[in-house]
Structure 1
Amino acid sequence: MSVEITTLASGLRVVTDRMAHLETASLGVWVGAGSRHEGAHEHGLSHLLEHMAFKGTRRRSARAIAEEIESAGGDLNAATSTEHTAYYAHVLAEDAPLALDILADILTESTFDATELEREKGVILQEIGAVEDTPDDLVFDIFNASAFPGQPIGRPILGTAAQVAKFGRDAIGAYLDAHYLSDAIVIGAAGAIEHDRIRDEAEKCFGGLSVDRIEANQAPARYLGGDIRLKRRLEQAHVVIGFEGLPYGHDDFYAMQVFANAVGGGMASRLFQEVREARGLAYSIHAFHWGYSDVGLFGFYAATGRKDVAELMPVALDCLGEAAQTLSESEVRRAKAQMKVSLLAALESPAARAEQIARQLMAFDRVLTREEIIARIDSLDLAQIRAAGARALGSAPTVAAIGPVAKVFSPDRIAERLRAI
């Protein structure tokens, strides 16, 4: 690894990783503000702000932004998540300063033109409508809402159509001023880059960022669990069953990741083999474990036919419950290998690597070495992994389902089934 980190006088941090033999660079701006930082009256603003960043600045029109980056052969994009918003570019090595200049321009000089704002709100309303029409996406939104009822972390990132339609320029400006502060931002770059050059360009381009922090809205998350079902005329039931997981800083976080991989992370996993291969009860089924800064979620997703829901539920739950007691050494070795391949693959992609080092710096105030992560994975024993799974399965269940949902188990019935294993 050739990671270098600099903290500028403003508090903004720059982290880079030079990757030998590459001729392109990926770089971006990661902001420690996402949907969970929004007040109730701001729901959807993080995502709207991400969209509006590309709609014109004092120096560039929306079209000029697109033409300038693409004339250099590069591309520009952004993404909003629960805890972060990212703006990033991929360019030839010599165009890294151009990419940083454009990124700084859209984050510090955007005009939020009223006409563009109304047009982009219309685009987001279309995006919200697309999710409503896509049950395998929507079910995860209602799953979060069920797991964290009445909390910002449980609200959908896109916002609601009614709320988004109300936003004006003042709301966007106030949110930007409150959250897009120099000490909440990391500039990450990887590939054919020189740290000193990126540092100097960042210092020059992002000097206009505010350093005055306004009290952020991030109440600690409380996993509660619950049951949300949307009965719709669909061919399949889309079901997510979940439990309380672990935050990414927890000592047993990697144990929980290995458990999730072992029970539902690939074609050889217990869920896939038993539910799909042996019984043909689902086309799609997989387990997951998501870690946030202060909480986590573990569970599985399945899409199954109306007639198969009643059989799938006990079979899938038995796979999970039995794994917490009988997970084997060979299953653990396979899950660990999958995790290590995923980790090492990120080191081969400048875009993935830039995101990895930026997010790690935000989460841990340092970048974790490859050797450190692999050592932590390898050090886990079978008892730790089983115990992590058992602890998750002992928490209050969360149910989210869309389609023909009458035979989806209730949280009480799920807990009862797991206790009986």
Structure 2
Amino acid sequence: MEKQDNYQKTVLDNGVTIVTQSDSSFYSATIGIWVKNGSRDEVPEKNGISHFIEHMMFKGTKKRSAHDIAKEIDSIGGDLNAFTTRETSCYYVKVLKDHIDFAIDLLSDIFLNSVIDAEDVEKERQVILQEIRMVEDTPDDYIHDLFSSTFWGDSSLGRPVLGRVENVSSFVKEDLISFIKDQYCSNRIIISVAGNVNHDHIVEKFRPSFSKLSKGSPEIARDIPTSTSNITVVNKALEQVHFCLGTEGVSDSDPRRYNAYILNAILGDGMSSRLFQEIREKNGLAYNIYSYLSSYDDCGFWGVYVGTGAENVDDVLQRISFELKKVKLNEISADELSSAKEQLKGNMILGLESSDSRMQRLAHNEICFGRHLSVEETINEIERVKSVDVLNLANELLTGKSLNIALIGSINEDTISEKINEMKKLLNK
């Protein structure tokens, strides 16, 4: 058992990993059961099945109906939910400290004993199809799926987490049960708990039921997709054009990731960032503009989202290209570097004031690194970044060879192609 920074880790004999971080000042605790499986691990014809299973886990167990589950969590003022990403599935509950034992029993029952009924599958299928249509009708959401498809192509990372309509329409009860049996195995499960908790107590509450899980087959190595330069345009009558533009990024464990966090903060993460100031504040060309890093186990991209009028698209693209070129040519100032570092540290530390954020951080570190990264270690890594590190990374990543763009709205495709070719030439100089 490892212990540091109020962090403790226990691995059960069958491989289930339990990590906790205790803080007696918290009135709450958040408990998460994570599976190292997401949409990236699905074959094309099963795309969307991980998310479908997430929905089905709340439809009742051998001893609780769906209504019982909802009533019980509401009766203690708790929050019970789940989410699926491209690389993980997570089921979690947040409760007051006095209800921890009850929460563990409820969450364990849902995770281990859910009953998948054919009639419920049909009902939930309609809910998920509505969810897919809702995303497709929300351009500032849908553009991110469209950009992932553009950037990663027909790889598993390029397919939507929710799945495609034709796949979701085809799943049957047996598909879901088989997938759970294959993927929800002890060697892929991490239990992450943060808040006013006692590690030994948590382990002993989970051990009886989770130690019975089988290890299953070894994890299959994921294919690492490669990205070329692509353009995707969806012409749709909208008030605005929504687009994502991006280049190669970094993986979750890339040693350059702290340089990338700084670069992203400077370019588009926040109101003082260069892109926000140039596009919105100085020129009023967009209401919403931000940049972000999308990082995975072994790859990633850096992207910019903008929503703007069709008449502004060319101007916005040109100004973005100029800002990217500037950050490649000149080292950032000491003041800008210091400000970006303080922003990163502040965001991280403020996030740690909630037990759910701590729970997610614990799980992320265990999944990515197999160990705990303390706040002090993370701050030290941020402080080590120099201006020249950011400059070097900008020149490595912000190139025309991996420049991709996806757009939704009333768009002239020929004009966009010309503008992107101009951007490539500028970034490759």
* Equivalent pair of 1:179/1:214 in contact (CA under 8 Å): no
Equivalent in the alignment of 2:98: 94
Is there any run of 5+ residues in structure 2 with no aligned partner, and where? Answer: none
Q: 1:367 aligns with which of 350, 372, 382?
A: 372
Shift of residue 16, structure 1, vs aligned partner: 0.5
Shift of residue 55, structure 1, vs aligned partner: 0.5
Shift of residue 293, structure 1, vs aligned partner: 0.5
Equivalent in the alignment of 2:342: 337
Secondary structure of residue in 2 paired with 1:17: strand
Q: Deviations over 1:87-135 (max 9, x none)?
A: 0001121221221222221222111111111111110000000011000
Q: 2:406 aligns with which of 400, 405, 415?
A: 400
Equivalent in the alignment of 2:231: 227
Distance in 2 (CA, whole Å) between partners of 1:182 and 1:150 is 30
Answering whether residue 396 of structure 2 is matched by residue 391 of structure 1, we say yes
Shift of residue 414, structure 1, vs aligned partner: 2.3
Distance in 2 (CA, whole Å) between partners of 1:224 and 1:418 is 15
Distance in 2 (CA, whole Å) between partners of 1:372 and 1:90 is 27
Equivalent in the alignment of 1:168: 172
Structure 2 CA distance for partners of 1:215 and 1:337, relative to 1, 3 Å: closer
* Equivalent pair of 1:32/1:85 in contact (CA under 8 Å): yes
Matched residue type, 1:329: A
Shift of residue 316, structure 1, vs aligned partner: 1.0
Equivalent in the alignment of 1:69: 73
Shift of residue 267, structure 1, vs aligned partner: 1.0
Matched residue type, 2:302: F
Shift of residue 229, structure 1, vs aligned partner: 0.9
Equivalent in the alignment of 1:377: 382
Equivalent in the alignment of 2:422: 413
Return the TM-score normalized by structure 2.
0.95
Equivalent in the alignment of 1:159: 163
Shift of residue 405, structure 1, vs aligned partner: 2.4
Answering whether residue 117 of structure 2 is matched by residue 109 of structure 1, we say no
Distance in 2 (CA, whole Å) between partners of 1:109 and 1:258 is 44
Matched residue type, 2:378: I
* Equivalent pair of 2:93/2:103 in contact (CA under 8 Å): yes
Equivalent in the alignment of 1:177: 181
Spell out the pairing of 1:9-408 with structure 2 (5 A cutoff): 9-213=13-217, 216=220, 218-326=222-330, 327-394=332-399, 395-406=401-412, 407-408=415-416
Task: Select between 177-186 and 76-85 the one with higher mean Cα deviation.
Answer: 177-186
* Equivalent pair of 2:185/2:215 in contact (CA under 8 Å): yes
Secondary structure of residue in 2 paired with 1:94: helix
Aligned pairs, how many? 420
Shift of residue 215, structure 1, vs aligned partner: 5.6
Q: Deviations over 1:42-80 (max 9, x none)?
A: 100010010000001111111111111221221200010
Secondary structure of residue in 1 paired with 2:316: helix
Matched residue type, 1:380: V
Distance in 2 (CA, whole Å) between partners of 1:11 and 1:167 is 30
Matched residue type, 2:127: V
Matched residue type, 1:412: N
Distance in 2 (CA, whole Å) between partners of 1:171 and 1:414 is 46
Distance in 1 (CA, whole Å) between partners of 2:208 and 2:108 is 9
* Equivalent pair of 1:180/1:210 in contact (CA under 8 Å): no
Q: Deviations over 1:157-215 (max 9, x none)?
A: 00011110110111111111121111111111111111011101111232342212266
Distance in 1 (CA, whole Å) between partners of 2:352 and 2:373 is 12
Shift of residue 217, structure 1, vs aligned partner: 6.9
Return the TM-score normalized by structure 1.
0.97
Shift of residue 227, structure 1, vs aligned partner: 1.2
Structure 2 CA distance for partners of 1:45 and 1:225, relative to 1, 3 Å: farther
Measured on the aligned residues, the alpha-carbon RMSD in Å equals 1.4
Secondary structure of residue in 2 paired with 1:159: coil
Shift of residue 308, structure 1, vs aligned partner: 0.7
Is there any run of 5+ residues in structure 1 with no aligned partner, and where? Answer: none
* Equivalent pair of 1:37/1:217 in contact (CA under 8 Å): no
Secondary structure of residue in 1 paired with 2:290: strand
Distance in 2 (CA, whole Å) between partners of 1:40 and 1:217 is 16
